[in-house]
Amino acid sequence: MGHTGVREKKSIIETIREKNRLAIGEYNVVPRDILMRFVDVEGELEENIVRLSRDLLQAIYDLYPKVSAKKDIELNIPMGHRYTKFIYVVDPQTLYIPYHYHVSELYGIYFREKEILEDIEKFLGLAWSLLRNERFYERLRISEIDRSDIRALLRHPGISLSILIALYIEALYYHALAHHVLEDVSTLLELNNIDNYSIVRDSREEEAFCEYIMYLALKGEPGWNEPEGGFALGVIYRLRDMMIIPPVSLDDLMRFLKAYREIFAAMLYIHRNRNIYVNFRFLRPAISEDVADRISLAFRSFWISHIYGWEPMEVGIGNVEILKRVYVIDL
């Protein structure tokens, strides 16, 4: 290949890399003025809504195998390299045990039952209030079509709550999935003798990155999730098939889910700002220039494979997709 051909090849590679590069810095899911306006909104659920939400959450828990913990696990952000034999990830509402862990049978994503129950009731109180706040829709510039769909569902609390809870669980799943994809990328480098550890060296930086990816997917951004589908649709669809919620058509479920995505990320961001980020500032969604440069293209390729249900790496544990290794743990 001549010098011209080499230059053209480099130019094409750089163009592809630039197109797939993630935006650098903190990800403000909503502008700061909107955050400050609604961060102190009070919300209290009526008793019947609390009971209904708990029943729906339990029905979702029942979709996954349940495991018992031998001891309590505290949130920890280890400073050592992740994805080694003795490190697993503990987040506020989830665990991710990597396939590199020395007890490989434990590999998977774990929803922390007790922590989720405590947090989700706070979130639903806020969300239920914001759903009835016309100013909130105006500030977010939500279309009248989406507003109409959301208002219609408010007359059917079971369906409305099931979408909110499914999206909340989706958020936790996608944050944990981001950890898994980082392990995949790190494994790719390891197999090519480029590196032997996590590609993101600082665990706090990794947490901020996974939170960043979580919001991109929640919003249904192109290349990150299907606005009318995703993990949440699978959950809602199973609830419908089990007759936990009314028999809404798939087309309607997809339409309602897409409408809720327009506001959900903003509601969760407000909630986590006042309940999570105040205690764990490193969880604020952000990405550094170094991380963006090093992993954007590989991460995005691996991520989209998982969104469509394909495990791009042979993990050596049945080689099943991570979606098949989701559990509920009594923590």
- Residue 66 pairs in a beta bridge with 328
Q: What is the mean pLDDT of the chain?
A: 87
Tell me: pLDDT of 249 over 70. yes
Q: pTM for the full model?
A: 0.91
Whether residue 11 lies inside any domain: the answer is no
Whether residue 20 lies inside any domain: the answer is no
pLDDT of residue 239: 94
Whether residue 17 lies inside any domain: the answer is no
Whether residue 129 lies inside any domain: the answer is yes
Give the pLDDT mean for 4-24.
57
- pLDDT tens for each residue of 285-331: 999 888 888 787 889 989 999 998 888 887 767 667 899 999 999 98
Whether residue 92 lies inside any domain: the answer is yes
- pLDDT tens for each residue of 256-292: 999 999 999 999 999 999 999 999 999 999 998 888 8
Tell me: pLDDT of 131 over 80. yes
pLDDT of residue 72: 56
Tell me: pLDDT of 14 over 70. no
Whether residue 12 lies inside any domain: the answer is no
Whether residue 7 lies inside any domain: the answer is no
pLDDT of residue 90: 87
Whether residue 5 lies inside any domain: the answer is no
Domain containing residue 101: 25-329
Tell me: pLDDT of 169 over 70. yes
Distances (CA, A) of 289 to 67, 139, 150, 296, 300: 39, 30, 38, 10, 16
- Long-range pairs for 264-267 at CB < 8 Å and ≥24 separation? 264/164, 264/167, 264/218, 265/29, 265/215, 265/218, 265/219, 266/29, 266/30, 266/34, 266/140, 267/123, 267/126, 267/127, 267/130
Tell me: pLDDT of 2 over 60. no
Is 5 within 8 Å of 285 (Cβ atoms)?
Answer: no
Tell me: pLDDT of 12 over 50. no
Q: Lowest mean pLDDT: which of 66-80, 199-213, 216-230, 303-317?
A: 66-80
pLDDT of residue 8: 52
Structural tokens at position 49: 């809504």
- As for how many domains the chain has, the answer is 1
